[in-house]
Amino acid sequence: MPKRLFILLLFPVALLMGVGAVKPPGSPPPRMDRTVADAQLRETVLPVLREYCWDCHGDAEAKGGVNFDAHTNLMAVLRDRGTWERVIHTVRSGDMPPKKRKTQPDSGVRTHLVGWIERTLFPIDPARPDPGRVTLRRLNRVEYNNTVRDLFGADFQPADDFPQDDVGYGFDNIGDVLSMPPILLEKYLNAAEAVLDRAIVSGPLSPKNRRFAPSQIQGHSGSGALATLSTQGEMFVQYEALVPGDYIFKVQAYGDQAGEDKVQMALRSDGKDLETIEVRRGRGNPKLHEHRLRLEPGRHQLAAAFLNDFYRETELVRTNGKGKIYKEKKIEDRNLQVEFMEVTGPFSDAVPPLHEIHRKIFFKAPGPKTTNQVAREIIQRVTDRAYRRPATSVELDGLMRLFTQAREAGDGFESSVRQALLAVLVSPHFLFRGEIQGNPDNPHETHPVSEYALASRLSYFLWSTMPDEELLRLAGQGRLRRNLAAQVKRMLADPKSRALVDNFAGQWLQLRTLDIVAPDEKLFPGFDAPLREALRRETEALFDHVLRKDRPITEFLTADYTFVNERLAQHYGLNGVKGPEFVQVSLKGTGRSGVLTHGSVLTLTSNPNRTSPVKRGKWILENILASPPPPPPPGVPALESKETHGTLRQRMDAHRDNAMCASCHAKMDPLGFAFEHFDAVGQFREKDGDETVDTGGQLVSGERFADHTELSRVLSDSRQSDFVRCISEKVLTYALGRGLEYYDRPALAAIDVQLRKKKLRFSALIQAVVDSVPFQYRRGDGDPLLIEAP
């Protein structure tokens, strides 16, 4: 059987084996008297619904997607908990029944209805908290790259070729959405082979293909499935040749034809032209262009250059069917479109030189009688770290069989070890973060996660990578739990905690979307790639500062300082900053404070041609106040499709004529309008066109403010508890890799108490999450309310 196929066949078998875990006794969740709850449903709940809600949500009516026809018994109610959670929010807020309804339930009826729903569907016993269960999940792209880096001691970035990770609850490390598409299995094997090609020297390298999707190609303005050059210039990839030899550079491209000449493309290597090509025209009609070239060991820039841009606007005079004359603009625009770039190689008999990574793996040389013993030690040393816990003797026996088969087939010692390590790198124990327990389908059984699982939870939370030697040593000694505070302090001080900036803050504050925002070039000609990067760096620097200096988390809203380079200082109108390096500057007297006035947030919450109070308000509700609005009702037109007369505020008022829109926009719009002093790329302004901006407003909770400065003060003072809850929810979600549920409320309450005792310091938030029940414990799968306890 071919080795590659054999490795692939190992994958599903290993996935089913799982990893055992200790099962200390746990307290079962409180039991519900179903007979009593069912009787209350029939006698006191359904009559209220029939009196006040049935016109819109009963007898086959389902306004807003809600219908109660099937909810006539307790089990039906328990199976549709999401609907009843919406009922709690709308009844408690007074949004339902609608205000226009003449008869309304009194406060006693509302309190009884909400109370029954909470007791029956969302029971919480703080004395016996439910830790929930995290789905077995694979490493995401960042975690995979970082884990390979720390496993072998070199930054290979093999996961850059993987498909993009799906996002759930705002983050890309959520187990329920980290799917396993078939293509990813092949990518895993390709990545494992590429990693071991670099890590182990065992002879000449066989040629391999590396394809670069548009998202991996630099220097272009395209998005999605195409890399686009709309002006003369070049797009490029970085490729590292491991040995001297021949390589084939490939580009699949077509041209957007305009003018008489065809699109001209040059293939380049390290700035030198290799070949000039006429590119075939027409979307859906691409051609693969190839050029064989010689590369020396090292990093090379391989590029496709667009040589002959053409753009022309012509005004045409037309006549419609009624004889009316009108003018139409004809645009001719020549562009280069690239679907992918690819490098194949090396075609060479050269052997890579021995390097430090190889020497670390093969820390012991085999003797005539110690070949198998030394191989087992080498394989075990890598496997223990790759699996983030000691490999079992059964697992090592299986890996040694691969080593023996390779030796019997005539492979050398290093090549045979490589075959075993290839199996390690495609094993679910490496690719997945597994905490499989005995009796995994019993949701009534709760127990602490093992020390090794706790080490992994901690390291992937704070570092987005595997546990280091100290964490694994403490876990092996059973002393990690007793030393968590010291380890959290050590890990936050480590440079690898930069992962919190890149991966948590980058997703919480949605900084990653800066890559795709595209302000109108004519309206904002100064917005370019250096400014885009500076905007991101500013917000990342503030988060990093709060982390490193252990500042209160409220400084994300109130910081009267920021970090700028010369380019960003000019954008903000700040004086005295020179050069490309970022420095800390005071914001006193500038009208700016905290992330809400950072150009990054203001730009990503705007439209290409104007500000968007709705987007800005929605962003604050979701990321600052933990109160995301529901999706807009179907059939409501966007603002742009309505009349465009009057100021933006007047147009927004007209947009709220739809009663279904009014309640949500009353929450979003005042928040967004408060920041109208900042345009669509975050520059300060007094006027929007000819109109003086109006930034005053009032929150639905009653607080009034004149502008963004007063609103920021409201958010950090009277609404501080909402912000603390919001960031606590975000951090706990990110740390667990799952969405939060009703039974996580005690954990959030405990985090809040611990935070306030430590004056809201950033380290206190991290420590409180690590100390929480959901982070330290787990239970079996399933819904405790639907599955009877054994």
DSSP letters, 162-199, are: SPPPP-BTTBS--TTT----HHHHHHHHHHHHHHHHHH
Mean pLDDT of 447-466: 96
H, E, C per residue of 37-61: HHHHHHHHHHHHHHHHCHHHHCCCC
Check residues 324 and 400 and name the one with the higher pLDDT: 400
Residue 766 has pLDDT above 50, yes or no: yes
Is residue 146 predicted with pLDDT exceeding 90? yes
Selection from 260, 557, 202, 114 nearest residue 407 by Cα: 202
pLDDT given for residue 87 in this prediction: 86
Residues 6+ apart with CB under 8 A from 788: none
pLDDT value of position 2: 47
Banded model confidence at residue 317, pLDDT cuts 50, 70, 90: confident
Helix count and strand count (H, E) for the chain: 31, 20
pLDDT-based confidence at residue 25 (cuts at 50, 70, 90)? very low
SS3 content of the chain, % helix, strand, coil (to 5): 45, 15, 40
Q: What are phi and psi of 298, to 5 degrees?
A: 130, -175
Phi, psi of 40 (to 5 degrees): -65, -35
Average pLDDT of span 473-495: 97
Which residues have C-beta within 8 Å of that of residue 354, sequence separation ≥ 6? 201
The residue among 519, 521, 557, 554 whose CA lies nearest residue 535 is 519
The residue among 79, 310, 16 whose CA lies nearest residue 787 is 79
Asked which of 27-31, 178-182, 691-695, 721-725 is least confident by mean pLDDT, the reply is: 27-31
Q: Is 60 exceeded by the pLDDT of residue 19?
A: no
pLDDT given at position 533? 95
Maximum separation of any 2 CA atoms in the chain, in Å: 98
Enumerate the H helices of 260-370 as residue ranges. 356-361
Between 118 and 126, name the one with better pLDDT: 118
Task: Give the model's confidence band at 661: pLDDT under 50 very low, under 70 low, under 90 confident, else very high.
Answer: low
Instruction: Provide the token pair at 346.
Output: 């090396």
| Whether residue 97 has a cis bond before it, omega within 30° of 0 | yes
**Residue-level pLDDT at 8:** 43
Instruction: Give the pLDDT confidence score for residue 18 in this predicted structure.
Output: 36
Model confidence at 752: pLDDT above 50:
yes
Bridge partners (DSSP) of residue 704 are 698
3-state secondary structure 313-341: EEEEEEECCCCCEEEEEEEEEEEEEEEEE
Per cent of the chain over pLDDT 70 is 91
Q: Check whether 15 has a pLDDT greater than 60.
A: no
Residue scoring higher pLDDT (506 or 434): 506
CB distance 749 to 102 below 8 Å: no
> 494 vs 351, 456, 487, 736, 764, CA distance in Å?
37, 16, 10, 21, 17
Banded model confidence at residue 754, pLDDT cuts 50, 70, 90 = very high
Distance between CA atoms of residues 487 and 469, nearest Å = 12
Report helix, strand or coil for 620.
helix
User: Could you give the percent of the chain with pLDDT greater than 90?
Assistant: 65
Q: Mind listing the pLDDT tens digit for each residue in 579-594?
A: 999 999 999 999 999 9
The pLDDT value recorded for residue 784 is 75
Alpha carbons within 13 angstroms on the beta-carbon side of residue 499 total 23
CA–CA gap between residue 622 and residue 664 (Å, rounded): 13
Q: What are phi and psi of 155, to 5 degrees?
A: -90, 90
pLDDT at 414 over 50: yes
Mark residue 738 as left, alpha or beta (left: phi above 0; alpha: psi -120 to 50; beta: remaining): beta
User: CB under 8 Å to 368, separation ≥6 — which residues?
Assistant: none
606-655 pLDDT tens trace: 999 999 999 999 999 999 999 888 777 666 655 544 444 456 666 666 55
DSSP-assigned beta bridge partners for residue 779: 446
pLDDT at position 431 is 97
**pLDDT tier at 657, thresholds 50, 70, 90:** low
Q: Within 13 A of 24's CA, how many CA atoms are on the CB side? A: 9
Q: Calculate the alpha carbon distances from 507 to 159, 173, 600, 731, 734 in Å.
A: 19, 11, 13, 11, 10
Bridge partners, residue 325, by sequence = 319
Beta bridge partners of 267: 275, 304
The whole-number pLDDT of residue 133 equals: 87
Q: Quick: pLDDT tens for 665-688.
A: 778 899 999 999 999 999 999 988
C-alpha–C-alpha distance, residues 88 and 614, integer Å: 25
Rounded CA separation 104/97 (Å): 7
- The model's confidence at residue 26, banded by pLDDT at 50, 70 and 90, is very low
Asked if residues 552 and 759 have their Cβ atoms less than 8 Å apart, the reply is: yes
Position 641 scores a pLDDT of 41
Mean pLDDT of 340-353: 95
With a cut of 90, say whether residue 538 has pLDDT above it: yes
pTM, two decimals, is 0.85
Residue 314's pLDDT band (cuts 50, 70, 90): confident
pLDDT tens readout for residues 288-311: 999 999 999 999 999 999 999 999
Q: pLDDT-derived band of residue 570, with 50, 70 and 90 as boundaries? A: very high
Q: Which of 542, 536, 540 is nearest to 513 (CA)?
A: 536
* Amino acid code (one letter) for 467: P
Q: Is 264 helix (H, G, I), strand (E, B) or coil?
A: strand
Looking at per-residue pLDDT, the higher value among 4 and 746 belongs to 746
